[in-house]
Structure 1
Amino acid sequence: MILTGTEISQRVHSGDITIAPFLAKNVNPNSYNFRLAPRMKVYQEGVIDIKEEKPTEDIHIGPEGFVLEPMRLYLATTMETMGSTKFVPTYAARSSIARLGMFINLSASLGDIGFVGKWTIQLLAINRIRVYAGMDIGQMMFWKVQGDIDLYDGKYQGATEAYASRIFMDYQKKAMPAPVAAPPIVHPLEVVDARAAELDDA
């Protein structure tokens, strides 16, 4: 079941949900509006090899805003630190943002229970759109769980800024172990000679 805005507020005050800073005016009927932080990242030009770390460039959104170019991916982040060890978070764009032709996530809207940090959001615009730091850009929702809870403790935990993909770490973990040295080959005649020496010593 999804939490109502009133329940989200109560759970923030009880400590079951983290939203910091928390603004009462950003509470919706069943979600919380989060804001766009002033710093973003873009991948450098060239092929992205998922087995290697891809360098990024930083972008600062000044008072005049920043124009998103169509069909270019920008890794932005939330001003708020958000998460929960009790509820599963999911997020989406505000409907007013979506109607401009802008996505704030491409296919990864589901968060993990136990993650607490600033959320990396993937901005992709169909049109040229000027965005501003501090604008309400998306909404976070929280869902009740059923079953035993296994808290998230992955490679994005505690994020304080937009994180580029760390999928390359998955391949580092799967690296093949060093081959085990084969036992030395003993010639049959050496075995016979060794046994003969043992008999001579007896």
Structure 2
Amino acid sequence: MILTGPAIAAARTAGDLTIDPYDPARLSPNAYDWRLGHRIRICETDLDAAAPTAFTEITLPCNGFVLEPGILYLGHTLEHTGSDRYAQLLNGDRTTGTLGIWVHVSAPLGHAGHAIRWTLEIRAAKAVRVYPGMTFGKLVFLRTYGAPASYQRHGLKYTHSEGIDTSRLYEELPGGPR
């Protein structure tokens, strides 16, 4: 079950979910409009699942930054969100989609018990200028069913994510990083 905008506001007031910074004007009928953060990592070389990702990190200038096709960019949400009671789904929206921007390649699920600034896996179909703090997508909150199973309590890899995380799949592969 997806929370409506008014239910998101009520759950936030009750302390059942976190959105920081929060602006009630960003509530939509079934979601919260989240924004692009101020930093981006540019992954310009080939990627290897068995090795840490090489990147260049920049602060997005106020006059914008042009995303180029064929490059993986890792960004972050301006908002820090989470809940012990609700799971979250991070989505792009029509506004960014019609600019040819994929806001995440995968990983749209935020588990209950996981409060984070989301890492975004950004791709562009054509060259497109983006700006720090621009609306970049929608976040929905989902009521969970069954016994609580908190992400935090399981000590999973990205438990303490507070910004842009690169892949750490290499930690799981035999022999560790190359």
Q: Which runs of 4+ in 1 moved over 4 A?
A: none
| Among 156, 159, 166, the residue aligned to 2:158 | 156
Residues 1:26 and 2:26 aligned together: yes
The alignment yields a C-alpha RMSD, in angstroms, of 1.5
Q: Indicate conservation of the 8 Å contact 1:115/1:151, yes or no.
A: yes
Which residue of structure 2 aligns with residue 57 of structure 1? 56
Q: Is the 8 A contact 1:36 1:78 kept in 2?
A: yes
**Partner SS state of residue 136, structure 2:** strand
TM-score when scaled to structure 1?
0.81
More helix by share: 1
- TM superposition shift of 1:150: 0.9
Cα drift, residue 101 of structure 1: 1.0
Instruction: Describe the superposition over 1:9-49 as per-residue Cα deviations: whole angstroms up to 9, x where unpaired.
Output: 11111111110111111001000011111101122413x22
Residues 14-163 of structure 1: pairs in structure 2 closer than 5 A: 14-46=14-46, 48-153=47-152, 154-163=156-165
TM-score relative to the length of structure 2: 0.92
1:178-197 aligned at under 5 Å gives the runs none
SS across alignment from 2:88: strand
Describe the SS at the equivalent of 1:53. Answer: coil
Name the structure where strand makes up a greater proportion of residues.
2
Q: Distance in 2 between matches of 1:7 and 1:117?
A: 21
Equivalent of residue 168 in structure 2, options 166, 179, 202: 166
Contact 2:112 2:151 in 1 (8 A): yes
What is the CA-CA distance between 1:52 and the residue it aligns to? 1.7
TM-superposed deviation, 1:55: 2.1
Matched with 1:187 is none
- Aligned pair count reads 173
- 5+ residue gaps in structure 1? 177-202
Q: Secondary structure at the match of 1:158?
A: coil
Q: Secondary structure at the match of 1:10?
A: helix
Q: 2:89 aligns to what SS in structure 1? A: strand
Is this contact kept in 2: 1:103–1:123, CA < 8 A?
Answer: yes
**Following the alignment from structure 1 to structure 2, what is the Cα–Cα distance between the partners of residues 74 and 44?**
9
Quote how far apart the aligned CAs of 1:175 are. Answer: 5.5
Distance (whole Å) between structure 2 residues aligned to residue 43 and residue 130 of structure 1: 17
Q: Distance in 2 between matches of 1:44 and 1:74?
A: 9
Distance 1:49 1:125 in 2: 21
Letter in 1 for 2:19: I
